[in-house]
Amino acid sequence: MVSTLRLCLLAVTLFFNFSSAFPLSREVQWSFTLFPSPSCNGTIGDPHVGSGSTGCRADLHSVASAYTLNSVAGGCRIELFDNTMCDQNEFSDVASQANATQTCRIAGTRRRYGSYQVTCA
């Protein structure tokens, strides 16, 4: 007969082996914060965090005038658009690993960020 302690140890071992093979959460590959004003300060920022590619995302809390790039993995790029449909004709900015992080980036005169999409290779 197998002891209860051995069964518990076997269960714990199987759990850790399974969870390492199939992680429950994916690593953050990109993160940025949108701001309604060009100053990029205060607690009004709208954070966006994810892993992998997205489609067009227009679910912004408000149209933004600026953003700070917190992190972006190599092979990922964040495209920001002036409209709410990710229309390539109204492309505004791109953020990638080559851009400086934690720097306030302003949309420019008469431009605002209304949608974004992330593409990761």
Model pTM score: 0.71
More confident residue, 109 or 81: 81
Q: How high is the pLDDT of residue 88?
A: 85
In the chain, DSSP finds a helix count (H) and a strand count (E) of 1, 7
In a domain, 14, yes or no: no
Q: What's the pLDDT at 30?
A: 95
Per the domain annotation, does 67 fall within a domain?
A: yes
Average pLDDT over all residues of the chain: 77
In a domain, 13, yes or no: no
pLDDT attached to residue 101:
81
Among residues 2, 111, 104, the alpha carbon closest in space to that of 11 is found at 2
| Host domain of residue 45 | 30-120
User: What pLDDT is stored for residue 77 in this prediction?
Assistant: 92
5-60: per-residue pLDDT in tens? Answer: 454 333 434 343 333 344 444 577 999 999 988 888 766 789 999 999 999 998 78
pLDDT reading at 92 higher than 90 = no
Residue 20 domain-assigned? no
Residue 52 sits at φ, ψ, to 5 deg, of: 85, -175
Structural domain contains residue 24: no
> What would the mean pLDDT of 60-74 be, rounded to a whole number?
87
The answer as to whether 56 is a domain residue is yes
**Domain for residue 4, yes or no?**
no
Domain count, the chain: 1
Flag whether 111 is in a domain.
yes
Query: Cα separation of 76 and 11, whole Å?
Result: 38
The long-range contacts involving 86-95, CB below 8 angstroms and separated by at least 24 positions, are 86/56, 86/57, 86/58, 86/115, 86/116, 86/117, 95/32, 95/67, 95/69
Of residues 82 and 23, more confidence is placed in 82
What CATH number is associated with residue 109? 2.60.20
Q: Which of residues 111 and 56 earns the better pLDDT score? A: 56
3 — pLDDT class (breaks 50, 70, 90) = low
What does the alpha-carbon distance between residue 26 and residue 78 come to, in Å, rounded to a whole number? 18
